[in-house]
Structure 1
Amino acid sequence: MENEDIEKAVIAYLKKKGFKQTELAFQEEQNKVSSASQTDPDIAKRILSFAQSENGPARYQDGYSKLRSWTYSSLDLYKHELLRVLYPVFIHCFMDLVAKGHTQEARTFFNSFREDHELMHLRDLQKLEGILSPSHLEEMEFAHSTRQSKVNIKICQYSYELLLQYLHKTQSITMLGIINERIDFQVSPGQPSTISDDAEVVTLVGSSHDAAKQINQKEIRWGLLEDSLEERLEKASGLLSDSEKAEGENKKGDLEENKKKSVDGGKPGNSTKKLKKDKLVGATGKGVRSETNTTSMAPRVKPELTLPVIPTEVEHSIIEDLRNRVQLGSLALPSVSFYTFINTHNGLNCSSISHDGSLVAGGFSDSSLKVWDMSKIGQLADTSNVQGENGPTANEHSLGSDDRKRPYTLFQGHAGPVYSATFSPLGDFVLSSSSDSTVRLWSTKLNANLVCYKGHNYPVWDVQFSPVGHYFASCSHDRTARIWSMDRILPLRVMAGHLSDVDCVQWHANCNYIATGSSDKTVRLWDVQSGECVRIFIGHRSMILSIAMSPDGRYMASGDEDGTIMMWDLSSGRCVTPLMGHTSCVWTLAFSCEGSLLASGSADCTVKLWDVTASPKPPRAEDSKAGSANRLRSLKTLPTKSTPVYTLQFSRRNLLFAAGVLSTSV
């Protein structure tokens, strides 16, 4: 056989393999080439020359440019799905060029096409900019983990077939090789998914999708604690159900009688108006029981931790708050009390509000923690009432950092900026975490530091008290989260598994689990007793900054740096729906006490209220065409003048507290 014929046969064979290439096939081909080279050295040279040209730097630029042009010229119905393929191909082309030593060509390639991906992946691109040599691919954690794992992309059957047809028709071996080696397609039947679903269909870096699926099959107990105060109150209320039924029968009889009177010559207009008024009062009234209160339907589980004993007087106070709780919903939005920090000179890093709103804490870059007692400064604060168009009243209070104007308690002890603060459920303690790698416990009664907890090796980004107090969780730049108790200076559990910083932590309602959000774009759920990861939630496109748990313990919301909020079903590990609306970082999330509303606070200077009762279950495959059929509804947006929202906290009576710092740069 002529040399040219052998070369063409080898090329045709490699092209024919396409996506079906295996290690065994490659080995067999290598053996054929090896035997041919022994008989004719010229053939070996030709094949080597072909391989070098195939892997040359120009092939990446040319192949990606053609794939990009074809994708952007595709039909709109399939274009947004095909565009998902471009970003992983882009970064792997760049890293392959660097790995082969073509540093200059890699920089040219990167700068030529980076603008296409800056909107969705700016943070990743900024990391990749630092790769200047092959050694950086191994030293940089992001690049190393990206090259070690495949990208998971959901795509419909027809889009997948269009892509295959293009790659085979154009004989783009370089692009075909990257896609085959680096992308794991999850092909689904039916129509393409909508653009708004992109947040949950592409997973670039994080845990292996197969490993996540295996972990998410573990059983979890998402219900509420047995014999909780809420359960006791429900049982006590149940004793009155018979009398309530009797009262309902009487009301029904009265309505029938009024109806008869109106037919007999009464004034139907007044009667109808009164009924509508009664209905409105019943929907928004203080004592009405919401039909969307899911806590009463949640299963009860036993605690895995030894719970602290609640003093009798405190128990009575909490039950009284629960009795007087306002039932919120789409027709009854919460009142909002907003605390604004002024004159902080960009020194405020975090804020926290006690459950009753009487104490407000701020953590500062000068290593200080300051706590304001609102009962003492309420008369000094400038208060203005702003009534929304249809809803909540926002009371705004100003907090100054100048002790001549506003009284506060100063807590000093940290040796670095304070990044997080949290009050105990009763407000008698406050925890703070700092860049000095420590967590400190302060007494608001004694105004003193009680304990310094050391265990983390790097800055501690977040710390949160458990719903019952005594226990708390912290997370750090060292990629771990830790469980502590107030009476021990060493952690009880260490949760390790995230690939990057653990930026936020939140307790489950039954205290048996904690959730952690990380810069690796994943949220993990950990069993407090065993320290094992029992859920991995994949779908965010940027670092997770906030987490909130629903009161019944079934759902979790997480907010990221891009402004996206995702609602998760803990039992299945699936995303119920993404919430789009914020234009900047979502710094704080909070569920209302009965679980019907979700409040979100952002750096875009707004508080948004979402109706979470509109999405009781994860979306089905047949719903993908509709896209927004199962999407949560945004009820109201409450803008501030120029105050990014740092923290949100619902009181036990369902008053929403919020805090932020006045910003002149917004």
Structure 2
Amino acid sequence: MDEEDVEKAVIAYLKKKGFKQTELAFQEEQQQHSKNSSSNNSSANSQTDPDVVKPLLFFTESENIPAQYHDGYSKLRSWAYSSLDLYKHELLRVLYPVFIHCFMDLVAKGHIQEARTFFNSFREDHEMMHLRDLQKLEGVLSPSHLEEMEFAHSLRQSKVNIKICQYSYELLLQYLHKSQSITMLGIINEHINFQVSPGQSSSISDDAEVVTLVGNGQDAANLINQKEIHWGLLEDSLEDRLEKAGGLLSDLEKVDGESKEGDLDDSKKRAADGGKQGATLKKLKKDKVVGTTGKAARSEGNIVAAAPRVKPELTLPVIPADVEHSIIQDLRNRVQLSSSALPSVSFYTFINTHNSLNCSSISHDGSLVAGGFSDSSLKVWDMAKLGQQNDSSVLQGENDSTRSEHVRGINGQKRSYTLFRGHSGPVYSATFSPFGDFLLSSSSDSTIRLWSTKLNANLVCYKGHNYPVWDVQFNPMGHYFASASHDRTARVWSMDRIHPLRIMAGHLSDVDCVQWHMNCNYIATGSSDKTVRLWDVRKGDCSRIFIGHRSSVLSLATSPDGRYMASGDEDGTIMMWDLSTGRCVTPLMGHTSCVWTLAFSCEGSLLASGSADCTVKLWDVTASTKVLKTDDNKAGNTNRLRSLKTLPTKSTPVYTLQFSRRNLLFAAGALSKGA
């Protein structure tokens, strides 16, 4: 093979890989070398340029493949760590995707032992940021595992999105050209998508999107995020009717002037509804606090009133007159929360569950509490009845010897809860309808079941998913519901049909959680692929892709005005998103473990988060969104939501949070073993 053939072979390989800039560089060298060759004698023409021979050796010597990967990555690593401090943190971002693809390429080529050696040699560099991913990749021990393991297969088929400034990008290109490592060139070109920004390098603290799996079509994702979003609230809602009639503000003013006798009657009513008179008396005190923070509270309440109104795309059910009257009464008696008027919290603790409780749910008025268990059972406690018997804040598990259902059943005594059986696998999610008359549950048996809390019976079994269903959520108006599954899809259903109305497919891994938008026209899904997606219910299309989480997204919540969405992940990070722009408003750092549940207060001024670290945290949403409006370019980088208060439990991870229509915060969790 002569010199011209060598150059053509190298350029052909690079062209095949699509590395156009490097190809042009080699073409320039070829032209320059041709000029030099024409002026030299014939003996000089027979010599081979050593800079061209070097890549040829890597290209042709297949016997030395492990050394190519090990040496190529080792040199790239050394160069990145020795770079200028101003650009080092950006260049170091390239190492992680190169590392994992070097490892997987070695496995795919059959060099298993060398792949393990390579993995163990450099894994320490990435353990702090990507420990969970590395633990998954440890299970890749043969080429077949790359196809069988969902995580590894997703990595192989997708690109990684990396933000980098123009100068850092040019430094990287210069290094790759000088080193002429075909192996590193191929991996970077095939598996990394650079988002090059002009100006100085980004701050180290702005590393929310360091390494993110985005799939093959980054351009398609950008196009999706340019779609128009109608994020406003529904027209002619109950809140609208009350607001138009002037009832909300006038009634709030009347609350402050009501007599003590009226206050006591109201507190008794709330105690009967929720079974927690002590908590409602605390809430009553909050009603009086509203009087001292009147203007501030009402201005924050106007956040919802100022939101645009949109027409529903779905045919929504008619609210019964008695239910509508009850909701309006709740709205009139709503406590306006703010940073100076925090909510009262009613916490329900499951005891003696022996780690078998997988999920819990609380009805909007706090009168019903449901728990889903690993033995395929679903149990519902009526707090009003339970409160008459004993302490309603303690919920007994099935193995509790003092109040076990089985003991009571044998003795003919009354149960402390209603037992629902029908699933054939662990129950992973449960949710009450907005009016508390129905309950949905999902299970590892791939089904969703609809239960009547009035009849205490199973009404429908919905089949459609092929794998376990991780989450199910009712529409804010009822009748419709959405589900999320291990089969990587989310589905929209109606109570009167056994087949799904829409199937949302696009996530690269499990869809772990689902949440409805307040106007019922969108659903949001969080996935193990570390992204959140917003779907148009009518069209079934993806309207937004939110990228920034570093681990699986486990919880979602939308703000009452419909503009913002919060998402919590496995690492304890919460991110606030602006639906209109698709941008992250601010990350919320504070939890030290999985964020399992999120809830906005009714006026949208506060966000509550519950975590496996046994705490409930309250965040000031209003302050951050105000900054966003005044300084939209910097809000996402320099401002974080202020943590107002941390409410620790004794030893109870928080499974669910729910604000009542009157702004009382309900929470539930299972007491940890050994507490």
Same fold (TM over 0.5): yes
The match for 1:253 is none
Sort the Cα spacing of 1:240 and 1:153 in 2 relative to 1 into closer, same or farther, 3 A.
closer
Task: Report Cα offsets for 1:542-591 as digits up to 9, x if no partner.
Answer: 11111111111111111111111111111122211221111111110111
Q: 1:221 to 1:625 in 2, by over 3 A?
A: closer
Q: How does 1:605-624 map to 2 (within 5 A)?
A: 605-616=614-625
Q: CA deviation at 1:407?
A: 0.8
Question: Shift of the alpha carbon at 1:648?
Answer: 0.3
**Whole-angstrom distance in 1 between the partners of 2:636 and 2:183:** 35
**Amino acid in structure 1 at the alignment position of 2:66:** P
Structure 1 622/159 Cα, relative in aligned 2: closer, same or farther at 3 Å?
farther
Q: Which amino acid aligns with 1:131?
A: V
Residue identity opposite 1:21 in structure 2: T
Provide the residue aligned with 1:355 in structure 2: 364
The residue identity in structure 2 corresponding to 1:189 is P
Contact 2:350 / 2:668 at 8 angstroms: preserved in 1? Answer: yes
Residue in 2 aligned with 1:629?
638
Q: Is the 8 A contact 2:224 2:543 kept in 1?
A: yes
2:120 paired with 1:103:
no
Distance 1:352 1:553 in 2: 23
Mapped pair 1:236 → 2:245: yes
Q: Tell whether the 8 Å contact from 1:290 to 1:328 is kept in structure 2 after alignment.
A: no
CA–CA separation in structure 2 for the residues paired with 1:425 and 1:415:
27
Give the residue type in structure 1 aligned to 2:506. G
Partner of 1:255: none
One-letter identity of the residue aligned with 2:652: T
1:19 is displaced (CA, Å) by 6.5
Classify the secondary structure of the residue corresponding to 1:56: helix
Q: CA deviation at 1:411?
A: 0.7
Give the corresponding residue for 2:263: none
CA distance in structure 1 between the aligned counterparts of 2:157 and 2:100, rounded to whole angstroms: 13
Query: Which letter maps to 1:104?
Result: Q
SS in 2 for 1:64: helix
Asked if structure 1 preserves the Cα contact closer than 8 Å seen for 2:54 and 2:180, the reply is: no
- State the number of aligned residues: 613
Q: What letter is aligned with 2:656?
A: T
Residue 51 (structure 1) aligns with = 59
Describe how 1:48-447 pairs up with structure 2 within 5 A. 49-53=57-61, 56-168=65-177, 170-206=179-215, 208-237=217-246, 282-284=291-293, 288-291=297-300, 293-382=302-391, 397-401=394-398, 402-403=404-405, 407-447=416-456
Q: Is the 8 A contact 2:471 2:513 kept in 1?
A: yes
Secondary structure in 2 matching 1:599: strand
Displacement of 1:397: 4.3
What secondary structure does 1:210 align onto?
A: helix
SS of equivalent residue, structure 2 residue 329 = helix
Q: Per-residue CA shift, 1:284-328, capped at 9, x if unaligned? A: 469952435411011111111111111112111111111111111
Q: CA deviation at 1:20?
A: 0.9
Counterpart AA for 1:602: S
SS at match of 2:75: helix
**Whole-angstrom distance in 1 between the partners of 2:246 and 2:485:** 43
Counterpart among 536, 548, 556 of residue 547 in structure 1: 556
Distance 1:517 1:230, change over 3 A: same
Match of 2:521 in 1: 512
Give the partner amino acid of 2:662.
R
SS in 2 for 1:416: coil
1:20 is matched by which residue type in structure 2?
Q
Q: Distance in 2 between matches of 1:421 and 1:86?
A: 42
Tell me whether 1:21 sits opposite 2:25 in the alignment.
no
**Using the alignment, how far apart are the partners of 2:394 and 2:594 within structure 1?**
24
Q: Matches of 2:70 and 2:460 in 1, distance apart?
A: 59
TM-score by length of 2: 0.82
Change (3 A) 1:485 1:108: same
- Amino acid aligned to 2:438: F
User: Alpha-carbon deviation of 1:201?
Assistant: 4.0
Distance 1:196 1:153, change over 3 A: same
SS in 2 for 1:468: coil
Q: Structure 1 residue 591 and structure 2 residue 600: aligned?
A: yes
Deviation string for 1:337-363 (max 9, x for gaps)? 111100001110000000011110000
Q: 2:512 aligns with which of 481, 500, 503?
A: 503
> Does 2:534 match 1:533?
no
Q: Structure 1 CA distance, aligned partners of 2:184 and 2:10?
A: 15
**Aligned counterpart for 1:465 among listed residues 470, 474, 484:** 474
Q: Which moved more, 1:152-161 or 1:447-456?
A: 152-161
Q: Percent identity?
A: 80
What pairs with 1:646-665 in structure 2 (closer than 5 Å)?
A: 646-664=655-673
* CA distance in 2: counterparts of 1:514 and 1:483, whole angstroms: 9
In structure 1, the partner of 2:650 is: 641
Range that drifts further, 429-438 or 79-88: 79-88
CA distance change for structure 1 residues 50 and 299 in 2, over 3 Å: closer, same or farther? closer
AA aligned to 2:22 is: Q
| C-alpha spacing 1:556/1:171, structure 2 compared with 1 (3 Å) | same
What's 2:569 paired with? 560
CA contact (8 A) 2:212 2:530 kept: no
Q: Which moved more, 1:360-369 or 1:216-225?
A: 216-225
One-letter amino acid matched to 2:233: L
| In structure 1, distance between residues paired with 2:190 and 2:297 | 59
Contact 1:283 1:332 in 2 (8 A): no
